[in-house]
Amino acid sequence: METIVYPGAVTLLALLLYLLTMMNVGRNRVKHGIEAPATTGNVDFECAYRAQMNTLEHLIFFLPSMWLFAYTVSAEWACWLGLIWVAGRIQYAVSYITDPKKRAPGMIIGMIAQVTLFIGAAIGIGNLFLG
């Protein structure tokens, strides 16, 4: 049980972050009169939309990497790296929405965490495969 608690909690935080970015897109869609399926028309909406979509794009890579790392290496370390990823993604989203030119630090923090999880998971799977 304890092996899933830490990455499970980080998974919930990551999903909460994604939910908040989705809600922000919806709020901006209404505020700026951007009717679906349009994804352009107001720079504030477009920044909110890209922050949400980029978060989704990274979730696809991050979540399996974190869970495989947790299973094959360490659930506790997966949690810490996952929290770093969430913090980086928060910084990325807030920066993208307020000033898109300042989004790089959050992206870099998130990328370092998710690539570390991926490499660790690959090594862990490799070690299990080789027995």
- Residue 19: CB atoms within 10 A of its CB come to 11
Q: What is the pLDDT of residue 9?
A: 97
Average pLDDT of every residue of the chain = 97
CATH number for the domain that contains residue 60: 1.20.120.550
- Per-residue confidence (pLDDT) for residue 2, from 0 to 100: 65
Name the 3-class secondary structure at 38.
coil
- Measured at the CA of 96, the angle between CA 51 and CA 35, to 5 degrees, comes to 50
**Amino acid at site 43:** V
Burial of 14 per CB tally in 10 Å (0-12, 13-18, 19+):
buried
pTM here is 0.95
Assess if residue 130 is contained within a domain: no
Q: What angle do CA 22, 117, 58 make, to 5 degrees?
A: 25
Residue 12 lies in a domain: yes
Does 131 reside within a domain? no
Is residue 128 one of the residues assigned to a domain? no
What is the number of structural domains in the chain?
A: 1
Residues of the chain falling short of pLDDT 70: 1-2
Tokens coding 21: 């970015």
Range of the domain at 68: 2-123
Residue 7 lies in a domain: yes
Q: What is the pLDDT of residue 19?
A: 98
Q: What pLDDT was estimated at residue 1?
A: 53
Are the C-beta atoms of residues 45 and 105 closer than 8 Å to each other? no
CB distance 34 to 72 below 8 Å: no
Model pLDDT, residue 131: 86
Supply angle C-alpha 108, 120, 21, rounded to 5: 40
Q: Is residue 129 part of a domain?
A: no
